[in-house]
Amino acid sequence: MKTLMGYHAPVQVDQNPPGSWRVDPNALPGFNQGWKHIGLSSQGVFLSSRQIDMAGLSTEEKSLFFEAASIQTPTYTCSQSGTSPGDNIQIVDAVSTIPLDVENNVFDPVFLGFGFPGSSLGNHEHIIYGRFQRWSTDVDHAQLFPVMIESNTFGSMEATASDTLYLYRWVYFTATAIGTGSVGPARVMFGITAKDEPTYQQLMRMRRSYELQQSPDRD
């Protein structure tokens, strides 16, 4: 079994002017790489999009099977200042075998999900793995570091003949007033194996991967 890894950089955000969200240009070096603000300026939604090239991992007539998956974060996961109890940060990670138009479907990740019926973000088979977390400010802890109150995982872990994985990290700061907010870096890890399949199954899997990448379908 081989290990496959991808990374999201940390992000720091603020409101400048008040009520208008942005990626903070004054963040420390190493922050904000690959991050952008999406949606209305009044909405605290941010997106990181990355890719993993798997072309060199598969061999002729073999498909890639996912044996294990994990999302790792060092030290703190997220922080926010100037918030009130109940303000929360929602983080959705998703790994897909096709490119997804998250930027133009801003709230699908949290309201409809990745790969669920009704969502514009792929079907079940597209989404290899994903995780949702909600971190909230409460009355018992310092405002700067919220506590996790919800965590769910999802995904098909289905084998693929695709040569690219698409990694998305969607973050929503719900506070209406905030000093600064940040989300730490994340490492996305998979344990994978390349296995032989009957020629017919391999060809159909390759055809299906090609079709999905050319024109993503929708339930």
- Which pLDDT belongs to residue 82? 79
User: Across all residues in the chain, what is the average pLDDT?
Assistant: 87
Q: pLDDT digits over 166-187, tens only?
A: 999 999 998 877 778 999 999 9
Q: Looking at the 3D structure of the chain, how many domains does it have? A: 1
- Inside any domain, residue 57: yes
- Which pLDDT belongs to residue 59? 53
- Which pLDDT belongs to residue 197? 65
Find all residues with CB under 8 Å of 97, minimum gap 6, and list them. Answer: 125, 126, 128, 160, 162, 164, 165, 166, 209, 212, 213
User: Which residues constitute the domain of residue 165?
Assistant: 2-214
- Inside any domain, residue 185: yes
Rounded Cα distance between 97 and 168, Å, is: 11
Q: pLDDT digits over 4-46, tens only?
A: 999 999 999 999 888 899 999 999 999 999 999 999 999 999 9
- Inside any domain, residue 219: no
- Which pLDDT belongs to residue 76? 81
CB-based contact 83:15 (threshold 8 Å): no
Residue 216 pLDDT > 70: no
Percentage with pLDDT > 70 across the chain: 85
Rounded Cα distance between 30 and 124, Å, is: 34
- Which pLDDT belongs to residue 218? 46
- Inside any domain, residue 42: yes
Rounded Cα distance between 15 and 19, Å, is: 6
Question: Between these two residues, 161 and 60, which has the higher pLDDT value?
Answer: 161
Mean pLDDT across the stretch 73-81? 86
Question: Between these two residues, 162 and 181, which has the higher pLDDT value?
Answer: 181
Rounded Cα distance between 45 and 74, Å, is: 22
Mean pLDDT across the stretch 98-107? 96
- Inside any domain, residue 27: yes
Residue 219 pLDDT > 50: no
Q: pLDDT digits over 119-143, tens only?
A: 999 999 899 999 999 999 887 766 6
- Inside any domain, residue 137: yes
Residue 60 pLDDT > 70: no
Q: Please, where are the H alpha helices in 10-140?
A: 108-111
Q: For CA atoms 89, 136, 129, 192, give the dihedral sign.
A: positive
Residue 117 pLDDT > 90: yes
Mean pLDDT across the stretch 99-114? 96
- Inside any domain, residue 77: yes
- Inside any domain, residue 30: yes
